[in-house]
Chains A and B, each alone.
Chain A
């Protein structure tokens, strides 16, 4: 079934423990890696960054046979794109944890390579020239979609794959370095030049400024903030049940 796929690539970023700062694999990307390994043995695992990063050892332990590293932290999209021109299927995680973590990279890459893109994927089945995916949606909903190849699939954190961390595989796998291309300085365009960082703190919620007039202050004092909806304390149980059903119907919360 899966022999039909010519080339599968998985994009892995370098993770970092949010508290200790220790390098580690990025779980999202490991899920993508495992999904790729479930489809084919021979996959291209790509990382743009430093080949010495200990985080990459984790991906070897998680089953990557070989990791190809593009030694750059600039022009990541262009650099990755150059390596991916002949690929049927690219898998990525949803969000990195060691850069701007914007979840934009897959979109920039798919746009650059003119690929179909599906996000929030939890299952993949491969067919001859297409894949069938199951897509995560909130509130327990899922959607099935077939996508013509070539395509980029962004894997959702709740993808149903099991990660197997086997230390011994670190010695079996290898890390090789590709050459970085020199692109003109025109940087990844969606980056704002003026980003700066500070240690995390509790974010401040945006609220409208309230310069209350005397009248408004009076209104605020006399109108209670507690909302309280409709209260039904009359009628028999059937009528009460009917009120609940009417409410559910009116707000389209049930479909019968």
Chain B
């Protein structure tokens, strides 16, 4: 369905529009306040005939979840593994079971080990290194995959490579069964090699949508003895600090509340952003109209954002806008038109008036914060 959207048209909803409901959308019953689970098309389970080898994927979780970049590393291993090779995901940090195990299955993990004490927020590189070294010792993987990210995996991977003098490829932007490739000389050359022992993958090098699933069986992590002393002598973690939302570049923001043409009152949106400690974004119609600066524009001709949460308020969801939010994990739409294209993209859509829902949300947040300890 490609509808050309005139940015200057008046937003209008006919009774017909409200009745027309795309077939893919499931309704939820409000009283239960539960989110409908998306049914996955039938996929086959990758079955292993007595694994003879293992591919190990190591990645930190973030707030209990495993991000897309880490899932891509798992999918890469799953695609490259043959029928006698198991894909083992070693997750550092807590794992929020119910939600996450499903995504690990979808990414093709056969077995999952979790070391909850190694949260990425705590700086403990020596402890992490000795933990993964002993896991590697006991699992004896034939290859190790890690996302080359900045929440700690890129750095931990390099410590591992240096410590064990393993063959390695970092910043890998292309991989298949026979080779890896990374950009060199500031991006003008592509350096190619055989698959090394450790592979640090750049984001979006792998299609994580697989035709099969893994079992993602949780296995008990072997007891590991961690030499704690050295780490605490060398490093003292003084804690995390979040920057104020308004100081964060939009591209780096984790929570964005974004205004479209359907937002009448930008002050309300600013209050909502403030209540959620979120950054403010906008559609092109809003920045073209000068209601917010150009730097806030999200989309093909604006910024590409990677926020965990993107609230699209009064935004129709034109393709040019959707391009800018393709890497956002949770998209929540507030729109009065149930047939707006954003509804198809959103994980949760609230059909209603932007101003009224925002006001109610601000009130609920204020209540919740008062109630919180």
Chain A residues near B (Cβ < 8 Å)? 15-19, 21, 95, 97-104, 107-108, 110-111, 116-120, 132, 135-148, 189-190, 192, 194-201, 203-208, 210, 212, 215-216, 219-220, 223-224, 226-235, 237-248, 250-254, 256
Contacts and interface: CB of A to CB of B under 8 A. Distances in A.
A195 B350 contact: no
Given A145-B237, A230-B347, A253-B308, A139 B194 contact: no
B240 A138 contact: no
A197 B360 contact: no
B365 A256 contact: yes
Contact of A219 (B42, B196, B307, B365): B42
A107 B162 contact: yes
B235 A145 contact: yes
Nearest to A19: B188
B356 to A, nearest CB: 5
User: Which of A116, A199, A229 gathers most chain B CB within 10 Å?
Assistant: A229
A132 B343 contact: no
Given A143-B237, A207-B207, A227-B344, A197 B192 contact: yes
B350 A232 contact: yes
Contacts of B352: 233, 237, 240
Contact of B121 (A16, A143, A196, A208): A143
Interface string B14-33: 00001001111111101001
B36 A140 contact: no
Contacts of B344: 226-228
B234 interface: yes
A139 B254 contact: yes
26 contacts: A101-B182, A103-B170, A104-B168, A111-B159, A116-B235, A119-B155, A137-B150, A139-B248, A196-B192, A205-B205, A206-B175, A207-B207, A208-B79, A210-B211, A228-B26, A230-B27, A230-B347, A231-B21, A231-B349, A237-B359, A241-B364, A245-B361, A247-B332, A247-B347, A252-B63, A256-B369
A182 B84 CA distance: 46
Contacts of A238: 360, 363-364
Nearest to A103: B170
* 7 shortest interchain CB distances as A-B pairs: A139-B254, A18-B186, A233-B351, A140-B248, A229-B347, A97-B186, A144-B238
Contacts of B125: 117
B99 interface: yes
A192 B332 CA distance: 46
A207 B183 CA distance: 20
B194 A230 contact: no
Contacts of B163: 111
Contacts of B171: 95, 101-103
B302 interface: no
Nearest to A135: B123
B252 interface: yes
Contact of A140 (B165, B254, B345): B254
B196 to A, nearest CB: 6
B205 A18 contact: no
Given A98-B185, A205-B206, A251-B330, A142 B350 contact: no
Contact of A232 (B75, B349, B353, B361): B349
B92 interface: no
A132 B231 CA distance: 16
Nearest to A201: B190
Contacts of A228: 22, 24-26, 343-346
B301 to A, nearest CB: 21
A181 B128 CA distance: 34
User: Which of A15, A148, A223, A233 gathers most chain B CB within 10 Å?
Assistant: A233
User: Which of B185, B194, B369 gathers most chain A CB within 10 Å?
Assistant: B185
A254 to B, nearest CB: 7
B30 A256 contact: no
A90 B253 CA distance: 31
A75 to B, nearest CB: 14
A18 B187 contact: yes
Given A101-B183, A104-B161, A139-B253, 16 more contacts: A99-B184, A144-B237, A145-B237, A190-B162, A194-B194, A199-B189, A203-B174, A215-B42, A219-B42, A227-B38, A228-B344, A230-B36, A231-B351, A240-B350, A245-B361, A253-B330
A117 B159 contact: yes
Contact of A231 (B64, B174, B338): B338
A197 B332 contact: no
A132 to B, nearest CB: 7
B210 interface: yes
B357 A240 contact: yes
Nearest to A189: B165
Contacts of A234: 30
B245 interface: yes
A254 B158 CA distance: 32
A167 B161 CA distance: 40
Contact of B162 (A108, A148, A201, A242): A108
B27 A231 contact: yes
Contacts of A137: 120, 150-151, 240
A117 B206 CA distance: 30
